Amino acid sequence: MRRLMPYIGEKCGIAAYIGDNAVEKVYLSLIALQHRGQESAGIVAWKNERFIEYKTHGLVQNVLRYIGKEKDGASPAIGHVRYSTYGGSSRVFIQPIRAKYRDLELYLAHNGTIPNAYFYRGDLASYGVRTVFDLDSGILAGYLAYSIWEYGLREAINSIFERFKASYAFIALIDGGDVLAAKDPYGIRPLSIAISNENGIAISSESCAFNAIMGKDQFYRELLPKESILIEHSGKVKILSEGNKDSERICVFEYVYFARPDSVISGVNVYRARVHMG
């Protein structure tokens, strides 16, 4: 029997920015999220109707050697720091992960573990989807690309909520420059959005990343379980599906040791939670 989980890692960090200096802002966000993943780092941005990709093993600072002047004017950008859950440490597994179906291409950054993702691998491959099928995040990306093309964005995200089990918070950069962010129906992994009139729109696994890139006028909130948000290339924000706070089952280990002490998870300051836990 094929072994689906070579080894279990801990957590990942994901981030996005829509606005000026997007690559730099995502880079700084990933630095703030470095504690969530030190195995690899990646940034993908949109510029001149094409994707720009920066990926490397190791720490976020290693990405700097690949970032050149082509980053100027690129927006949006998304990023990822990784500890392995499914898949190994090969460069092909470094996120954001690419998926393509027909003329639709996207990159996806995922935090979580989806045990039943492999049930959809065969069908997606037979449909002509191109992605990394040995990675649960790749299958999720491929399913998203296929479903958006065939059924539209709202139906695609609703289908993911129905079919994909367990934990996922993800950000997708879609061909054309739109950004999609979503949480699973139980909100197991954290994901937040911050909006500033001066500093654009940011998305991050933890609120600590906003302190590095957003101004004091920022409006910040956490995504609810089963909530999905689309940020268009123009910066317009659309709620695709409204979440349900009552179904939240946040992972307790976020408070124990995953999250940074200065972050706020589900409305609770992580440092204060640790003090109360002793």
Write the CATH number for 36.
Answer: 3.60.20.10
- Structural domain including 201 reads 13-277
> Would you give per-residue pLDDT tens digits along the chain (278 residues)?
344 444 444 579 999 999 999 999 999 999 999 999 999 999 999 999 999 999 999 999 999 889 988 999 999 999 999 987 555 568 899 999 999 999 999 999 999 999 999 999 999 999 999 999 999 999 999 999 999 999 999 999 999 999 998 899 999 999 999 999 999 999 999 999 999 988 799 999 999 999 889 977 789 999 999 999 999 999 999 999 999 999 999 999 999 989 999 999 999 999 999 999 98
Task: Please report whether residue 7 resides in a domain.
Answer: no
CA angle in degrees (0–180, nearest 5) for 181-146-1: 95
Give the pLDDT of residue 199: 77
Strand order in the sheet with 192-196: 50-57, 40-47, 77-82, 13-18, 200-204, 192-196, 219-222
Task: Please report whether residue 233 resides in a domain.
Answer: yes
Task: Please report whether residue 3 resides in a domain.
Answer: no
Give the pLDDT of residue 5: 42
Work out whether strand 97-101 and strand 77-82 pair parallel, antiparallel, or are unpaired.
unpaired
Which residue in 4, 10, 12, 141 is the catalytic one?
12
Cβ atoms 165, 115 nearer than 8 A: yes
Task: Please report whether residue 17 resides in a domain.
Answer: yes
pTM beyond 0.85: the answer is yes
Instruction: Give the Cα separation of 242 and 229 in Å (integer).
Output: 9
Give the pLDDT of residue 235: 93
Task: Please report whether residue 5 resides in a domain.
Answer: no
3-state secondary structure of 134: coil
The question of whether 251 is a catalytic residue gets the answer no
**Tokens 């190994």 correspond to what residue?**
88
Structure tokens at 113: 């573990």
Task: Please report whether residue 8 resides in a domain.
Answer: no
Give the pLDDT of residue 2: 40
Cβ atoms 154, 182 nearer than 8 A: no
Give the pLDDT of residue 85: 56
Number of domains the chain is built from: 1
Give the pLDDT of residue 83: 82
